[in-house]
Amino acid sequence: MANMTLQLLVWRQTGAKDEGRMVPYTARDISPDMSFLEMLDVVNEGLVASGEPPIVFDSDCREGICGMCSLVVNGIPHGPDRGSTVCQLHMRRFKDGDTITVEPWRAAAFPVVTDLVVDRGAFDRLIASGGYVSVSTGSAPDGNAVPVPKDLAEAAMDAAACIGCGACVAACKNASAALFVGAKVSQLALLPQGHPERASRVRTMVQLMDNLGFGNCSNEAECEAVCPKEISIANIARMRREYVRSLLVGVGR
């Protein structure tokens, strides 16, 4: 497959308080074997060589693990491939001459820092509010000391696969964080180790989610469709059940 020339429309924004705009670029001599971020690297090399500021975007592992590569490609968070991050998106998914739009996450709770970088500190605050368990200090307990049924262990592991990228928020028309919070609540509520804070955790995290400016979930499952780890919206239902349970049993139990 021959190298391609692509037209890009990229969101450029100097700072959080500046007005952004879509800027056209031409990406030349792009190998179909390149990842999407490698293609942006090539474009940036050309911009730097011509004395222009490079396109700023987040990335770290480039292996679909860290969730830093928060880009909306042609209107879809993380691009057209299901169950993958944008750093795993390869240019063979596009054709020579295609026009590709590249934007940051769009959510009031994720303000743009510059260009394609957003501040996802709201997720960090949600985790700090309740995404942890209380444990006794000392040596590590025996792995078989606390028996966990296989079905619960597997459901907890599925929820724990969430990498906190924020694609669920970007895809939701209400910018809801319900899938993220639901995954974190489920991960801990399903395991015995998470039971001491079970009631207080869900109430604290749900309340903070509202306070941080995330919208309400309307059960349309856009979040599940774009989640790179394919987290199920069943976790949102579990979060709601856990919230009702917390009201019945009391926060401290």
The pLDDT assigned to 147 comes to 87
Please tell me the predicted confidence (pLDDT) of residue 251: 52
Long-range contacts of 77-82 (CB under 8 A, 24+ apart): 77/105, 77/167, 77/170, 77/171, 77/226, 78/165, 78/167, 78/226, 78/228, 79/36, 82/225, 82/230
Predicted pLDDT of residue 135: 75
- Are residues 64 and 87 in contact, defined by beta-carbon separation less than 8 angstroms? yes
Q: What is residue 136's predicted lDDT score, i.e. its pLDDT?
A: 75
At 204 the pLDDT is 97
pLDDT value of position 93: 96
Given this model, what pLDDT does residue 134 score? 83
d(CA 55, CA 114): 9
- Distance CA(48)–CA(189), nearest Å, equals 49
| Contact criterion met (CB below 8 Å) for 8 and 102 | yes
Where does CATH 3.10.20.30 sit in the chain? Answer: 4-103
CATH architecture of the region 120-134+147-249: Orthogonal Bundle (1.10)
pLDDT tens, 135-145?
777 787 777 78
CATH superfamily of 4-103: Beta-grasp domain (3.10.20.30)
Q: pTM (2 decimals)?
A: 0.93
Go through 81-94 and write b for each residue having 16 or more CB atoms within 10 A of its CB, e for each that does not.
beebbbbbbbbeeb
In order along the chain (253 residues), what is the average pLDDT of each group of 10 residues?
Answer: 95 93 98 97 98 97 94 98 96 97 97 97 97 81 83 96 97 98 97 92 97 96 97 97 91 50
Predicted pLDDT of residue 82: 95
Cβ contact 117:57 at 8 Å? yes
Residue 8 is given by DSSP the state: E
Q: Whose structure tokens read 């993220």? A: 180
Query: What DSSP designation does 194 have?
Result: G
% residues pLDDT > 90 (the chain): 89
Cα distance between residue 207 and residue 197, in whole Å: 15
> What is residue 235's DSSP assignment?
H
pLDDT of residue 21: 97
Which residues make up the CATH 1.10.1060.10 domain(s) of the chain? 120-134+147-249
The DSSP secondary structure of 87-132, one letter per residue, reads: GG-BGGGS-TT-EEEEE----TTS-EEETTEE--HHHHHHHHHH--
